[in-house]
Structure 1
Amino acid sequence: MIYYKKDSEGIVSLTLDKSGERVNTINPQIAKAFLPVLDHLEADKSLKGVIILSAKRSFLAGGDLDFLHRAEEPAKIFEHTALLGEIYRRFERLKVPVVAAINGAALGSGFELVLACHYRIALDHPRTLLGLPELSLGMIPGGGGIIRLMWMLGLEEAYKFISSSRQIHVKEALQKGIIDEAVERPEELIRNAKRWILSSPCIEKPWDAEDRIAKESNPKHPKTAQRIAKLSTELIAKTRNNYPALLSLLNCMAEGASVDFDAATRINARYFTAMIMSKNCRNQTKAFWYDLNKIKQGMSRPKGFGRFRARKIGVIGAGQMGSGIAYVAAMQGIEVLLRDVSKRLAEQGKNNAREKLSRLEKSGKMTTEQAEEILNRIQTTSDLREMEDCDLVIEAVFENMALKQRIIKEVELEMQQHSFLATNTASLQVSDLAQASIQPENYIGMHFFTPINRIPLVEIIVGKKTADETVARAFDFVLQLRKTPIIVQDRPAFFVSRVASTYFMEGILLLKEGQGPAAIENAGLQAGMPMGPLAFADNLGFKYIISAEEQAAQQLDGRYQASPAIAVLQEMLAQERYGKARNGGFYNYKEEPVRLWGQLKENFPLAQEQLLPKDLQDRLLFIQCLEAVRCLEEGVIQNSYDANLGSIYGWGFAPFKGGVIQFINDYGLREFVARAEVLAQRFGPRFKPSASLLEMAEQDTNFL
Structure 2
Amino acid sequence: MIYQGNAVSVQLLDDGIAELKFDLQGESVNKFNQETVEDLGKAVEAIQGNSDIKGLIVTSGKGVFIVGADITEFTDMFKLPEEEIAGWCLKSNKVFNAFEDLDIPKVAAVNGIALGGGLEMCLAADFRVLSEKAQVGLPEVKLGLFPGFGGTVRMPRLIGVDNAVEWIAAGGQHKAAKALKVGVADAVVAHDKLQDAAIALVKQCLEGKIDFRAKRQEKLEPLKLPPMENMMAFQTCMAMVMGQAGKNYPAPVAAVKAMQTAAGMNRDQALEVEAKGFAKVAKTPQATALVGLFLADQAVKKVNGKTAKGSKEIDQAAVLGAGIMGGGIAFQSALKGTPIIMKDIADKALDLGMSEASKLLSKRVSKGKLDAAGMGKVLSAIRPTLNYGDFDNVNVIVEAVVENQKIKQSVLAETEGKVKEGTVLASNTSTISITKLAEALERPQDFAGMHFFNPVHMMPLVEVIRGEKTSDETVSTLVAYAQKMGKNPIVVNDCPGFLVNRVLFPYFGGFGMLMRDGADFQAVDKVMQKFGWPMGPAYLMDVVGIDTGVHAAQVMAEGFPERMQYDFKDVSTVMFENNRYGQKNGVGFYKYELDRKGKTQKVVDETTYELIKPHVADTKEFDAEEIIARMMIPMCTETVRCLEDNIVGSAAEADMAMIYGIGFPPFRGGPLRYIDSIGVQAFVELCDKYAHLGGIYEAPQMLKDMAAKGESFFA
Do the structures match in fold with TM over 0.5?
yes
Which of residues 524, 534, 538 is equivalent to 1:534? 538
Give 1:461 shift: 1.1
Give 1:626 shift: 0.7
Pairing of 1:275-294 with structure 2 (within 5 A): 275-289=281-295, 291-294=296-299
In 1, are the aligned partners of 2:512 and 2:570 still within 8 Å (CA)? no
Which of residues 100, 123, 130 is equivalent to 1:122? 130
Pairing of 1:77-88 with structure 2 (within 5 A): 77-88=85-96
Pairing of 1:407-556 with structure 2 (within 5 A): 407-553=411-557
- Structure 2 CA distance, aligned partners of 1:598 and 1:219? 50
TM-score, L = length of structure 2: 0.89
Is residue 303 of structure 2 the alignment partner of residue 298 of structure 1? yes
Residues 533-574 of structure 1 show CA distances to partners (whole Å, capped at 9, x for unaligned) of 111111122222222223344556x76753357432233345
Is residue 625 of structure 2 the alignment partner of residue 614 of structure 1? yes
Residues 649-684 of structure 1 show CA distances to partners (whole Å, capped at 9, x for unaligned) of 111122222111111122111111111111224x44
Pairing of 1:663-678 with structure 2 (within 5 A): 663-678=674-689
Residues 567-610 of structure 1 show CA distances to partners (whole Å, capped at 9, x for unaligned) of 32233345553322222222232276634333555554774753
Give 1:311 shift: 1.7
* Matched AA of 1:192: A
Instruction: Pick which of 316-325 and 151-160 moved more.
Output: 151-160
Give the CA RMSD over aligned residues: 2.9
Gaps of 5+ in 2: 1-6, 596-600
Residue 212 of structure 1: aligned partner:
222
- Structure 2 CA distance, aligned partners of 1:219 and 1:515? 50
Is residue 202 of structure 2 the alignment partner of residue 202 of structure 1? no
Which of residues 640, 646, 652 is equivalent to 2:657? 646
Give 1:410 shift: 2.5
Pairing of 1:36-51 with structure 2 (within 5 A): 36-42=42-48, 44-51=50-57
- Structure 2 CA distance, aligned partners of 1:137 and 1:223? 26
- Structure 2 CA distance, aligned partners of 1:153 and 1:382? 58
Instruction: Give the secondary-structure state (helix, strand or coil) at the position aligned to 2:303.
Output: coil
Instruction: Pick which of 257-266 and 533-542 moved more.
Output: 257-266
Residue 712 of structure 2: aligned partner:
702
- Structure 2 CA distance, aligned partners of 1:246 and 1:455? 26
Which of residues 256, 261, 266 is equivalent to 2:262? 256
Residue 589 of structure 1: aligned partner:
592
- When residues 410 and 18 of structure 1 are mapped into structure 2, their CA distance, relative to the original with a 3 A threshold, is same
Instruction: Give the secondary-structure state (helix, strand or coil) at the position aligned to 2:191.
Output: coil
* Matched AA of 1:124: E
Instruction: Pick which of 456-465 and 320-329 moved more.
Output: 320-329
Give 1:320 shift: 2.2
Residue 598 of structure 2: aligned partner:
none
- When residues 606 and 563 of structure 1 are mapped into structure 2, their CA distance, relative to the original with a 3 A threshold, is closer
- Structure 2 CA distance, aligned partners of 1:216 and 1:514? 58
Pairing of 1:568-583 with structure 2 (within 5 A): 568-583=571-586
- Structure 2 CA distance, aligned partners of 1:312 and 1:574? 43
Instruction: Give the secondary-structure state (helix, strand or coil) at the position aligned to 1:425.
Output: coil
- Structure 2 CA distance, aligned partners of 1:404 and 1:434? 10
In 2, are the aligned partners of 1:59 and 1:104 still within 8 Å (CA)? yes
In 1, are the aligned partners of 2:120 and 2:150 still within 8 Å (CA)? yes
* Matched AA of 1:651: I
Give 1:20 shift: 1.4
Residue 63 of structure 2: aligned partner:
57
In 1, are the aligned partners of 2:152 and 2:259 still within 8 Å (CA)? yes
- When residues 196 and 350 of structure 1 are mapped into structure 2, their CA distance, relative to the original with a 3 A threshold, is farther
- When residues 570 and 355 of structure 1 are mapped into structure 2, their CA distance, relative to the original with a 3 A threshold, is closer
- When residues 591 and 575 of structure 1 are mapped into structure 2, their CA distance, relative to the original with a 3 A threshold, is farther
Give 1:252 shift: 2.2
Give 1:426 shift: 0.8
Residue 4 of structure 2: aligned partner:
none
- Structure 2 CA distance, aligned partners of 1:84 and 1:111? 15
Residues 127-186 of structure 1 show CA distances to partners (whole Å, capped at 9, x for unaligned) of x43222222222222112233333445444433433443323334433444323333333
- When residues 225 and 626 of structure 1 are mapped into structure 2, their CA distance, relative to the original with a 3 A threshold, is same
Residue 315 of structure 1: aligned partner:
319
Residue 692 of structure 1: aligned partner:
702
Give 1:197 shift: 1.7
* Matched AA of 1:503: Y
Which of residues 377, 383, 392 is equivalent to 1:379? 383
Which of residues 190, 195, 206 is equivalent to 2:195? 190
- Structure 2 CA distance, aligned partners of 1:563 and 1:259? 64
* Matched AA of 1:527: F
Give 1:53 shift: 0.6
Is residue 17 of structure 2 the alignment partner of residue 11 of structure 1? yes
- When residues 401 and 133 of structure 1 are mapped into structure 2, their CA distance, relative to the original with a 3 A threshold, is same
- When residues 441 and 218 of structure 1 are mapped into structure 2, their CA distance, relative to the original with a 3 A threshold, is farther
Is residue 76 of structure 2 the alignment partner of residue 70 of structure 1? yes
In 2, are the aligned partners of 1:115 and 1:145 still within 8 Å (CA)? yes
Give 1:460 shift: 0.8
In 2, are the aligned partners of 1:232 and 1:250 still within 8 Å (CA)? no
Give 1:190 shift: 0.9
- When residues 253 and 517 of structure 1 are mapped into structure 2, their CA distance, relative to the original with a 3 A threshold, is farther
- Structure 1 CA distance, aligned partners of 2:708 and 2:228? 54
* Matched AA of 1:534: A
Residues 55-106 of structure 1 show CA distances to partners (whole Å, capped at 9, x for unaligned) of 1121111112222211132444323322333333343343332212122211
In 2, are the aligned partners of 1:509 and 1:564 still within 8 Å (CA)? no
* Matched AA of 2:174: I
Pairing of 1:394-405 with structure 2 (within 5 A): 394-405=398-409
* Matched AA of 1:37: A
Residue 26 of structure 2: aligned partner:
20
* Matched AA of 1:669: V
- Structure 1 CA distance, aligned partners of 2:100 and 2:227? 21
- When residues 657 and 38 of structure 1 are mapped into structure 2, their CA distance, relative to the original with a 3 A threshold, is same
- Structure 1 CA distance, aligned partners of 2:220 and 2:674? 50
Instruction: Give the secondary-structure state (helix, strand or coil) at the position aligned to 1:198.
Output: helix
- Structure 1 CA distance, aligned partners of 2:358 and 2:108? 39
Instruction: Give the secondary-structure state (helix, strand or coil) at the position aligned to 1:298.
Output: helix
- Structure 2 CA distance, aligned partners of 1:625 and 1:401? 29
Give 1:628 shift: 1.0
Residue 390 of structure 1: aligned partner:
394
Residue 103 of structure 1: aligned partner:
111
Gaps of 5+ in 1: none
- When residues 572 and 107 of structure 1 are mapped into structure 2, their CA distance, relative to the original with a 3 A threshold, is same
In 2, are the aligned partners of 1:394 and 1:421 still within 8 Å (CA)? yes
Residues 341-387 of structure 1 show CA distances to partners (whole Å, capped at 9, x for unaligned) of 35674455344334434433443444555544444433333332211
Is residue 186 of structure 2 the alignment partner of residue 180 of structure 1? yes
- Structure 2 CA distance, aligned partners of 1:548 and 1:217? 61
Give 1:458 shift: 0.8
- When residues 254 and 620 of structure 1 are mapped into structure 2, their CA distance, relative to the original with a 3 A threshold, is farther
- When residues 554 and 65 of structure 1 are mapped into structure 2, their CA distance, relative to the original with a 3 A threshold, is closer
Which of residues 241, 245, 248 is equivalent to 1:235? 245
Residue 168 of structure 1: aligned partner:
174
- Structure 2 CA distance, aligned partners of 1:216 and 1:346? 64
